[in-house]
Amino acid sequence: MRIFPSALLILLLLPFAWSTEPVRARRGMVVSTDVIASKVGVEVLKNGGNAVDAAVAVGFALAVTHPAAGNLGGGGFMLIRHADGRDTFLDFREMAPSSAHRDMYLAKANSGAIQSDYQGRQMQIELNESLVGWRASGVPGTVRGLELASSKYGRKPWKDLLAPAVKLAKGGFRVDYTLAESLKSSTALLGRFPESKRIFLRDGQYYDAGETLRQPELAAVLERIAEQGARDFYEGETARLLAAGMKRNGGEITLNDLKRYRAVERQPLRAEYKGYTVITAPPPSSGGVGILEMLGMLEGSGYEKGGFNAASTWHYLAEVMRRSYADRSEFLADPDFYRVPLGRLLDKGYLAARRSTIDRDKASRSEEIRPGIAPGYESMETTHFSVVDRDGNAVAVTYTLNGSYGSGVTVPGAGFLLNNEMDDFATRPGQANMFGLVQGEANKVEPGKRPLSSMTPTIVVKDGKLSMVAGAPGGGRIINAVLQALLNVIDFGMNAQQAVDAPRIHHQWMPDRLSVESGVSPDTVALLKRMGHDVVRIDTVGRLQLIVVNGEWLEGGSNSIPHGGAAGY
């Protein structure tokens, strides 16, 4: 087929032109990384549940069907916007155990290397106790957070919300190709721990696509939680199993640590961008601050005039990202332990000053861009789901084990994996973590502290009406993935599926490198290099789960095809 120059230009400027159509529905929509879990959420909506009920059911279902990141043994954030305009943010991020201290991982760091996977791909991870094994885990928060959401903002009985997850764990579900390959490629991590090897690797008799994965120990835990609530996980039989496993294997979490864990309700951050109100995550997420900082620098810049996928557009975005991530390295941490200077970081004068340092024709050098205030992680294998109900209530949830399959440890007798969130602290302040993110003293390890996160659940409103619900996995890349989803809709007029299919870029200040997805054209890459960017190709910046409200229609867009996606009714 002959492609005429005009057609070639369209393909270069509009690479989303071949995107598939979004899933559309009128009454309710759930978008997650797993279609089984999405359908669980839709059934809750059909049966009278609201968006919070559906989100709780999806969270527990993913703990069964998506073991790489769905979890009971991790933590996360839930952003809620009610149809009447009220909003709130639930922080169920993991907490450091009471025995934790600043230098707890220094003695045994750098003891080797281990293979871990992200979406079935291999990557080298430094083997140390903040990443692998029993000492890598913070006190899990997911069960307490989902219970808080249900009890305060849901309307369906708790047991009804756990019933689908219990059924999936007890009766099993069909393993698809992606999960089968993901489990196999995680052998070096999961194979180190007997329970993980038995359950997820079948002692070396790997699961093939089409086989059924049953998890009876996990089913028993879910049944106890359904009957007793979060009390079982933090004080009951499940808590005792977890604490006993920790004690036997040199871990840090005690029964008292579990009893003391609390989910926290916080005020979301919000700001205006081109007539839209962006509602997003406050600290200990770094994502919301980053999103609002970058939007503030972009506002009025005219960066988008070159068009989507133009070198000038990517260059300006990269420079904005560079400055925001520099601030992240120095000024963000758990607000219960550190006074985060939100007012100054989001001050319009400060953002204008940061914007004024951007050269439109030349890349900055990160070593010359320091964290600056006006006078006066997470793993690649996180997961996100977005929900909208028939009344217009919206929920955005991002939760995680941090690395793919977390610490690799499955709790004996309980069947769930534990997180490795302790690596999201500055375990070695001033040095990069597993995602290359440099972190400072503000995020040092302290007892009872929540580590800094990049998770960025975000809701957008226009003229008082719901416009978007967004989030993504991707470790330190999450913030930039969510930012570009919003820009794709607001500045470039894309629908939900186009916005998630369109190529993305990522710059995180250090290392001084611009990562681009394959959809960024070779000619554009060449221009970026001429501007002085050190450009590298990557597979993905983040796998978005996006809902866009388009008139009477809800549009669901997901990067998780074929094993996940949107479901509506």
**What does the radius of gyration of the chain's CA atoms come to, in whole angstroms?**
22
**Number of CB atoms found within 10 A of residue 320's CB:** 26
Q: How far is residue 265's CA from residue 88's CA, in Å, rounded to a whole number?
A: 7
Q: Which helix (H) or strand (E) holds 288?
A: helix 287-298
Answer positive or negative: Cα dihedral of 194, 199, 201, 202: positive
367 in Cβ contact with 512 (< 8 Å) = yes
142 annotated active-site: no
- For residue 95, the tally of other CB atoms under 10 A from its CB is 27
Tokens found for residue 495: 């629908």
Residues in the chain: 569
Query: How far is it between the farthest Cα atoms of the chain?
Result: 70
Strand residue runs (E) in 295-356: none
Residue 292 dihedral angles phi and psi, to the nearest 5°:
-70, -35
DSSP string, 484-516: HHHHHHHTT---HHHHHHS--EE--SSS--EEE
Q: Which of 382, 383, 400, 427 is catalytic?
A: 382
Contact between 471 and 457 under an 8 Å Cβ cutoff? The reply is yes
- Residue recorded with tokens 């808590």: 239
Environment class of residue 405 by beta-carbon count within 10 Å: exposed (0-12), middle (13-18) or buried (19+)? buried
- Give the catalytic positions in this structure: 382
